[in-house]
Structures are given as C-alpha cells and as structure tokens.
Amino acid sequence: MAAAGETGEAADDDVFDETADTSRIAEVEWQRLNDACTKEGLREGLSEGKEAALQAGFDRGFREGFQLVRHVSLWRGLVRGVCSFSEDSRGPLGELADRLAVLERDLLAGQASDGRVHQARRDVEAALREHQLPQLCQALDDA
C-alpha cells in the first residue's frame, strides 16, 4: 500500500502545484501579448507604408501638375502679350488665350489630359509663327 500512497500523494501534489498553473498562465499571457504586438506592428507597418506611398504619389503628382500649369500660364502670358501689340489679330489670339485660361482651370481641377496640353502648345506655337514671331517659340521651349 505504500506504493498506492505514494501515487496518491504525487497526484495530490500535481493538483496543488501552483508553479504548474503559474507557468501555464504566464505562457498563455505571453502568447496573447506576443500576438497582440505582432498584429499592432503589422497594422502600423501597413499604415506607414500606405502613408509613404500616398505621400510619394502626391508629391510626384503635385510636381508634374505644377509644371503643366506653369507652362500653360506662361503660354497664356505670351499670347496675351502678343494680343496687346497686334490689333488686327486680337480675335483669334484672344480666343486662344481664353482657351488656355480654361485649360489652366481644368488642370488645377484635375480635369485636363496631357493631350490637351500638348495640343495647346502646338496651337500657341502655330499662332506665334503665323504672326511672324518665331523667336517667341524659343520661349515655349524654355518654359
């Protein structure tokens, strides 16, 4: 019976063994904290990655958009300048300047295509050549 008593005592020891419960609880708690930190780290990483990508896209778009608006504004200024010195051609040049102003507004609103910008440049160049001002075409290239 001594063997049975020893087995009973060993079983009783396991039931009342607080270190076994504490280590199990600690292991579960550690796993829960580890999972929570991993999930939070992934969320932060995704958020920062999205933010960085959005910022880079915004910066690139802003730079490109600014350049387009700048070009169209300079072209419009050239056309308006020619209008002020050319009384007989005020009509067609004035219309071109008005179209450039509309294009400028559309660019600022994000509603203009690159094709419209390229066509506007060709129109300005043709108008300058028509009025025998090819030297101003160089200003288009410099803009």
Model confidence over 15-43: pLDDT tens digits?
566 666 788 888 889 999 999 999 998 88
Question: At 120, is the pLDDT very low, low, confident or very high (cuts 50, 70, 90)?
Answer: very high
C-alpha closest to that of 83 among 73, 66, 97, 99: 97
Average pLDDT, the chain: 81
User: For residue 84, is pLDDT > 70?
Assistant: yes
